[in-house]
Each structure stands twice: as structure tokens, then as C-alpha cells.
Amino acid sequence: MVFRRHTSYVALGWQTGVLAAVVVTPMLLPEIGWRGMFALGIFPAFVACWIRHSLHEPEVFVAETRQAPKESALKLLVKNKQTGKLSLGMVILCLVQSFGYYGMMIWMPSYLASQSGFELTQSAV
């Protein structure tokens, strides 16, 4: 139960970060340019590294990993024909989703700028 709650916090944090970027980018981009925005993106990485470094593994997890047989996770993904087909399908679904999302987010602002005459900051909104 706790795992699901923390997973939802991660998902909400990601979406909150995207919304913050949408709000902050039109204000800061004309002032500091794309290089400044790129440099600003390093701060969330430092925060993530600090959080990861300050966390410890729960005792339950440590105890289970000591008792569990050492089997490669990659081997588990293809342990039989049905699991292999399911794993391949999940990889394909994830690739389609990622390419679709990032393709749209990278392509759409430049398309709006060229076809509709929007500036880059207007197309982000």
C-alpha cells in the first residue's frame, strides 16, 4: 500500500514539474535564453541525487533480497514463451508511448511557430 502512494507522489511530482516549467519558461526564456533554461534544469537533478543519497533501504526489502535466489531480472523477462511475448509487447508499447509523447512535445511548438506565426513562448502556452 505504501509503495502505491509513493509511486503516485512520483507521478504527481513529474506532472507538477511540467506545469512549473510551462509557467516559468515564458517568463525566463526571453531573459536568460535557452542556455540559461538548460542550466536551470540541473537543479532538479541535484535535488533528486540528494534525496536518493539520503534514503535508506527498508529492512523488509533488505531481508527479502538476502533470502531471494540470485536470478537475473533479464532472464525472468524471457523465462518462457508467454512471458517473452508479454515482455516484448510491453517494450513496444512503452516505445510507442515515449516516441509519441516526446515527438509531439518537441515537434508541436516549432510547428505552431512556423504555421501559425506564434513565438516559441506563445506556442508553449
**Residue 9: per-residue pLDDT:** 82
pLDDT digits (tens, 9 = 90+) for 37-79: 889 888 888 988 998 899 888 888 888 777 766 777 788 888 8
Q: From CA 107, how far away is CA 116, in angstroms rounded?
A: 14
pLDDT at 8 over 80: yes
Q: Decide which of 64 and 32 is more confident.
A: 32
Neighbours of 14 (CB within 10 A): 10
Reported as a pLDDT band with limits 50, 70 and 90, residue 22 is confident
Angle at 16 between CA 30 and CA 96, to 5 degrees: 95
pLDDT at 1 over 60: no
Residue 121 near residue 29, CB atoms below 8 Å: yes
**Residue 96: per-residue pLDDT:** 94
Domain spans of the chain, in order of start: 1-68, 71-125
Of 76, 101, 74, 78, nearest to 88 by C-alpha is 78
